[in-house]
Structure 1
Amino acid sequence: MDLMELIFFSLGTAVALYYGVRLLLFFRMFFPKLCFPLSKTFFTSMGEWAVVTGGSEGIGRAYAFALAERGMNVVIMSRTKATLDQVAKEIGETTGQKVKVIVTDFSDENVFSEIEEQLKDLNIGILVNNVGMLPSFIPCEFLEYKELDKTITKVINCNVKTTVKMCKMILPGMENRRKGMIVNVSSGIASIPFPLYTLYAASKVFVERFSQGLQAEYKDKGILIQAVAPFGVSTRMAGYQQTNAVTLSPEDFVNSSLQYLRAGGKTYGSICHIVLGWLLQSIPLKVLHADSVLQGLQDYVKKKTIQKDLVSASRMTNGKLF
């Protein structure tokens, strides 16, 4: 074998090994209980309290319930006191755990000193940075957002600044105790450059990179930090789409995602979303960014919005408010 043959053989072997390892890592995701086992005391061993931002509905509410069911007291935070109080009552009655409510609007500039004051005496073992907002429910180009300057500020405050400030607030206690878990909720659409959701997707890319960087910095200090990037989950942000094999209920998604806590710095949280992420990144961007594809996406969301509004109006007419 001459030198060139040796080089090509070595290169081919290295490529085969690389993709073989990646395939093996991919298939591990289909068996989370086997590959990423958690002890029965995993959650309570982190600390007494879990903090969940955006905890009054959707994914945040589901995380709060799931962590309480696993023995943790929970702090739930959002801007609607009546909804928070109702969720707190339901969690307390269902699980017997303590629930603390903090009313705050994360799209505002200066809310964190008050939050820190209310959290300072708690032994916080888990933080779920779930709160987030879309600049517009109907996908549109960047310059088409209403009140663009205000929208930019609110999205960055809610999706980016909140994640960083809450980590700054809670991470020191975890570092001192050398244990803790931080889950930062990203989005599946952050997997690629995503036109019509450009600002939202970019804010979630920040969440992922921030989480992965923090994990590298603090993994040797007993702290697990993970970005969770769901695709379809039936929440208000997604127009309460009907659940199916791809669009999961918040409860099903959260219970699935908790099985992947030891799966690394980023996970899609469920088998179907892992496959969706792989497919999305396998399709050439020229196809995904084609005008016909983007127009089809926009038309689909508009159609779903109209259908939802019609259903809501019909229920109101029949005296069946929900």
Structure 2
Amino acid sequence: MEKLLEDAFVLFGIFAMFFFSLKVVKCLKYFVHTKWLGVPDSFFNSLGEWAVITGATDGIGKAYAHEFAKRGLNIVLISRTKEKLIKVANEIGQATGRKVKTVQVNFTERDIYEHIKENLRGLEIGVLVNNVGMLQTPDPCRFLEMTDIDKKKNVQQKHFSETINDMIAVNMVSVAKMTQLVLPRMKERQKGLILNISSGVATAPCPLYCLYASTKIFMERFSRGCQAEYGSKGIIIKCSMPYSVASQMSRVMPGIIAKSAEDYVRSSLDCVLLGDRCHGSLAHEILAYVYGKLPHWFVYTDAFLDKLMDHVQNYARSQGNKSH
């Protein structure tokens, strides 16, 4: 019996060391690719002439649009606000000299995809970035409290079911429908890149963001399934799962963990050849590992969740005061 227990502990130790070694190797790959190797601009240029980005006028989407233009691709910006589309298009055109096409749509609506299809007709699309996203509320909250937070802020409140429908339309339907529009031509040409921007909160059940996190895990599963189906056709379908990125939606400032949108985008593009999903930066990869090791019995307690809500709200208020 003692011999059996000893062998069991040895096997457990070997397995633990093997698992830890895999994590170390993955981190080293991130470090090497983002610091030295990267992905050459010629790779993206070889995929096609145009990059299509949804949610392209703010944050990560805007940063992807600028970065792909710098790397030699023409850009299709898809977003809901005409003034922002014109502004970003002018910025990219003046900075890079690339062609920029704009498509104004609201992704909460379901009848927009024929309009998008017509605007994409005839374009050799090498890259699609499914970035458009919607957060249920700016502050973390329990599922049934989403409407209460909006009322406290005197924001005109949509019906609860309408909020749910809008999040599904923006975070889930848009990904499937945009992929359906672009993938057939990529399959014919045997090359293309589809980047689906999910979220780090989708790596595990995420209280206080449960609806948002649930829509984002759809993106991860959809991406990996499509990659399995079409990877052999020369197409890369990758899910990027960032944690904190400084943007209007996240309301955080850049730091060690929270990356600027520009820094995150450059890092994530250097990692596009590393598997079918990634967190896009070494800091976020380490954070994902740590978060996955936190015990649920502690993280899911009311006391912890209440403290987390207070911390996030106090941080948001402090950042708001600094900006005024």
TM-score normalised by length of structure 1 = 0.90
How many aligned positions are there?
310
Residue of structure 1 equivalent to 2:96: 95
Q: Which runs of 4+ in 1 moved over 4 A?
A: 3-14, 33-37, 308-312
Distance 1:143 1:12, change over 3 A: closer
Cα distance change of structure 1 residues 8 and 284 upon mapping to structure 2, 3 Å threshold: closer
Q: Supply the distance in 1 between the matched residues of 2:214 and 2:36 (Cα, whole angstroms).
A: 31
Please name the residue that 1:224 is paired with.
236
Q: CA offsets per residue over residues 254-296 of structure 1, 9 Å max, x none?
A: 0111110001111111111111111100111122212222112
Write the distance in 2 (CA, Å) between the matches of 1:33 and 1:253.
Answer: 10
Residue 15 of structure 2 corresponds to which residue in structure 1?
A: 15
Give the C-alpha shift of residue 227 in structure 1. 0.6
Which sections of structure 1, spanning at least 5 residues, go unmatched? Answer: 315-322
Distance in 1 between residues matched to 2:213 and 2:180, nearest whole Å:
23
Partner of 2:204: 192
Contact 2:27 2:282 in 1 (8 A): no
Question: In the aligned structure 2, how far is the partner of 1:36 from the partner of 1:182?
Answer: 21
Q: CA deviation at 1:226?
A: 0.7
SS in 1 for 2:259: coil
Aligned amino acid, residue 173 of structure 1? R
What whole-Å deviation, never above 9, does each CA across 1:195-235 have from its counterpart, x for those lacking one?
Answer: 11000001001101111111111111000111111111110
> Where does residue 150 of structure 1 map in the other structure?
162
Q: 1:37, 1:296 → 2: CA distance?
A: 40
- Mapped pair 1:286 → 2:297: yes
Report the TM-score, using the length of structure 2 for normalisation: 0.89
- 1-structure distance, mates of 2:83, 2:317: 28
Separation in 2, partners of 1:299, 1:11: 44
- 1:13: how far off? 8.7
Per-residue deviation, residues 50-96 of structure 1 (Å, max 9, x unmatched): 00000001000000000000000000111101011000000000001
- Summarize the alignment of residues 49-198 of structure 1 with structure 2, pairs less than 5 Å apart: 49-146=50-147, 147-198=159-210
Native 8 Å contact 1:66 1:254 kept in 2? yes
Counterpart CA distance in 1 for 2:260 and 2:27 is 24
1:271 maps to a residue whose letter is L
Root-mean-square deviation over aligned CA pairs: 2.2
Structure 2 unaligned segments of length 5 or more: list them: 148-158
Hey, what does 1:266 align to over in structure 2? 277
- Contact 2:34–2:267 (CA<8 Å) still a contact in 1? no
The structural deviation recorded for 1:10 is: 9.7
Give 2:245's match in structure 1, choosing from 221, 233, 242. 233
1:298 and 2:315 aligned: no
